[in-house]
Amino acid sequence: MSGLRFVPPPIPERPLAGFALLDALRTNVLRMWPREAYEAPALTQAALGRPILLLNEPEAVRRVLVENEDNYTRSPLRIRILRPVVRNGLLLAEGEAWRHARRIAAPAFSPRALPILARHFALGAQEIIASLEADAARGAPVDLLDLARRWSIALSGKSMFSLEMSDFGPRMHALMTRYIEHLGRPFLLDVLLPLRIASPRDLMRRRLEKDWIGMLDEVVERRLRTKRTGAGGERDLLDLLREARDPESGAEFSREQLRDQVATMLVAGQETTTSGLFWTIYLLALHPALQERIAEEAAGLDLGPDNAAQAFQQLAFTRAVFSESLRLYPPVFMIVREAKAEDQAGSTRIAPGATVMIAPWVLHRHRHHWQEPEAFDPARFLPGAPRPQPMSYLPFGMGPRVCIGALFATALSALLIASIVRRFRIALASTRPALPVCVATCRPDHAPAFRLQPRGAAATAARQAAA
C-alpha cells in the first residue's frame, strides 16, 4: 500500500503542571514531556505542590538505579496498581526480601537455562505459524495487537508450566485485558489518596486479585500434580524456580512465594512482550526491505525446538531490529522512584521525599544521546556498531533491579519474529499511523489491521487450503 511511512509521535511544545500533569499520567504519559525534556540534562515539573524530577544525565541515572539504589523506593502509585496482580514478587519486593528472592531466582534466568525455555518458545512458534497460515488462507486482515497478547499468554504457559493454555488461556487473557485496559490505569484518587486508604478502584482491583490469584494457584497446582504423578513432561521455568536455592542460606521458595514469582513473570513479561512484538511487527510492515533481510537470515537456520537456543544466537539482524524497536517503543517507558534521603544525582539535588523519574522513552530519544533519535535504524545494534552511550538505553531497566527475564524476552521475541517473517510478508491494511499511548504499557492508539502474504511454498499451500 502506498503512502505508508514511519510517523514519530508528536512532542508537546510546552510543559504541563498541576492537574493537567496528573491527567497525563492517567491518559498518556507522553503528554508530560515537552521538547525541552528531550534536550535538557534534567527537567523539573510540579503537581499539587510536589516537584517531579526527570533525570537524563548518565551519571544521574547511574546514581539512582545503580550506585545509591537503596535510597530510592517504589512510588506508592505503582505499589497501589501492581500489588493486586504481583503480590510480593520480585517486581515490588524491597530490601532484604528482594535480595533474598533475587538470589534464589537468578539461576533460573541464567544463560544456561536458555536451551530449556527456547525449546518451548520454538514449539509455541510452530503452533502460531500454523494458525497464521489459516488466517492467510482466508485472506482477511488480522488484528496483530490482539494476537500478540494471545501469543504471549500461550508462550508463557508453555515455557512456565509446560501446559497447553486451552483451559487457562481464555481466562488469563480476559483477566489481563481487564487489568491493562481498566484497573492498571491510575485514576485521580489513586494519585491523591495515601496508600493506606483504599480508592474506589482499589476495591475493584481486590476483586480482580481474588480471581487472578485463584487462577494461578489452580495452574500451579495442576503443574505440580502432573510432576507428582510422573507425567510432568519437559522441564520448564516452574521447575527451574522450584529447584532454585539461595546460595547463601540454601533456602527455597515457599509455595506462596513461588506463586508470587509466577504472577510477577506473567504480568511483567506478558504485556511487555505483547508491546515489543506488536511494535516490531508494525515497524517491519512499514519497512518491507528489512523483512527480506530477516527472511534471508532465518532461511538457512533450524528454528525448531532442538536447535532454538543456537539459532537465536545466529539471528543477529533480527535481534538488532527488535533492539531498535525497543529503543523507539520501550515497554517500560518510565521508572519512578521516591527518595528516602537527600542525594546528589549528577547536577540535580534531590530532596527527601522527592519524586524522581527516569524515562527510557525520553532517554532513547534524547538529542544528546543519539544521532537522528526519531529514525528507525536497526544498524545501531548490529555487531560492530558503536555501543550506545552509558545509561542511554534501558529497555529492561538498569542496575541491581534490571529485568531478570530480559534474555528470555529477547529470545522469545526474536525466534517468533524470525519464524513469522520467514513464512509471511507483512503489510498494513490502512495508511493510518499507529501512535503510542503509554499508561500501564506502551500501546497503539488503535489496533491496525495487517495482511499476511505467504512466501514461496507456503503461498502454494495456502492457496490449496483456500480452494
Averaged over 148-161, what is the pLDDT?
Answer: 89
Query: Residue 434 carries which DSSP code?
Result: P
Given a cut of 70, whether residue 239 has pLDDT beyond it is yes
438 annotated binding-site participant: no
What sign does the dihedral 193-197-200-201 (CA atoms) show? positive
Residue 50 has what pLDDT?
Answer: 84
Residues contacting residue 6 through CB under 8 Å, at least 6 positions apart = 283, 286, 287, 376
Residue 21 near residue 45, CB atoms below 8 Å: yes
User: What is the DSSP annotation of 18-44?
Assistant: HHHHHHHHHH-GGGG--GGGGTSSEEE
> Which of 5-9, 285-289, 337-341 is the least confident region?
5-9
Averaged over 313-322, what is the pLDDT?
Answer: 98
Total residues belonging to the chain = 467
Residue 1 has what pLDDT?
Answer: 46
Looking at per-residue pLDDT, the higher value among 227 and 158 belongs to 158
Looking at per-residue pLDDT, the higher value among 5 and 234 belongs to 234
Residue 229 has what pLDDT?
Answer: 56
Residues contacting residue 430 through CB under 8 Å, at least 6 positions apart = 1, 448, 449
The tens digit of pLDDT for each residue in 161-209 reads 887 666 788 899 899 989 988 899 898 899 889 999 999 999 999 999 9
Residue 168 has what pLDDT?
Answer: 83
- Start-to-end Cα distance in the chain: 26
Q: Report how far apart, in Å, the C-alpha atoms of 66 and of each of 1, 368, 394, 397, 402 are.
A: 47, 21, 13, 10, 10
The C-alpha atoms of residue 100 and residue 282 are separated, in whole angstroms, by 40
Instruction: Give every strand in the sheet of 449-454, ordered side by side.
Output: 142-143, 449-454, 424-428
Alpha-carbon Rg for the chain, nearest whole angstrom, is 22
Residue 3 has what pLDDT?
Answer: 47
Q: Report how far apart, in Å, the C-alpha atoms of 174 and of each of 150, 171, 177, 178, 236 are.
A: 10, 5, 5, 6, 24
Question: What's CA 139's distance to the chain center, in Å?
Answer: 30
Per-residue b/e over 162-196, b at no fewer than 16 CB within 10 Å? bbebeebbebbbebbebbbeebbbbbeebbebeee
Given a cut of 60, whether residue 2 has pLDDT beyond it is no
Residue 241 near residue 198, CB atoms below 8 Å: no
Given a cut of 80, whether residue 321 has pLDDT beyond it is yes
Averaged over 51-65, what is the pLDDT?
Answer: 97
Given a cut of 90, whether residue 100 has pLDDT beyond it is yes
The C-alpha atoms of residue 145 and residue 448 are separated, in whole angstroms, by 8
Q: Quick check: helix, strand or coil at residue 97?
A: helix
pLDDT band at 231 (very low <50, low <70, confident <90, very high): low
Given a cut of 90, whether residue 311 has pLDDT beyond it is yes
Beta strands in 6-159 (DSSP E): 42-47, 50-55, 72-74, 142-143
Q: Report how far apart, in Å, the C-alpha atoms of 173 and of each of 148, 154, 409, 444, 447 are.
A: 11, 10, 19, 18, 17
Residue 296 near residue 323, CB atoms below 8 Å: no
Residue 232 has what pLDDT?
Answer: 53
The C-alpha atoms of residue 126 and residue 383 are separated, in whole angstroms, by 28
The pTM (predicted TM-score) of the whole model is 0.94
Given a cut of 80, whether residue 347 has pLDDT beyond it is yes
Query: Residue 397 carries which DSSP code?
Result: B
State residue 72 phi and psi, 5-degree precision.
-125, 130
Report strand pairing: 142-143 vs 72-74. unpaired
All 3 cell numbers of residue 437? Answer: 499511548
Residue 460 has what pLDDT?
Answer: 47
Residue that the C-alpha cell 506488536 belongs to: 278
All 3 cell numbers of residue 62? Answer: 547511574
289 burial (CB, 10 Å; 0-12 / 13-18 / 19+) is exposed
> Which of 96-110, 163-177, 284-298 is the least confident region?
163-177
Q: Quick check: helix, strand or coil at residue 286?
A: helix
Query: Residue 262 carries which DSSP code?
Result: H
Residue 393 has what pLDDT?
Answer: 98
The tens digit of pLDDT for each residue in 354-410 reads 999 999 999 999 999 999 999 999 999 999 999 999 999 999 999 999 999 999 999
Averaged over 218-231, what is the pLDDT?
Answer: 77
- Quick one: which H or E segment has residue 350? strand 348-350
Residue 7 has what pLDDT?
Answer: 74
Question: Which of 25, 65, 8 has the alpha carbon at shortest distance from 375?
Answer: 8
Phi-psi region of 379 (alpha: psi -120 to 50; beta: other; left: phi over 0): alpha
Q: Quick check: helix, strand or coil at residue 370?
A: coil
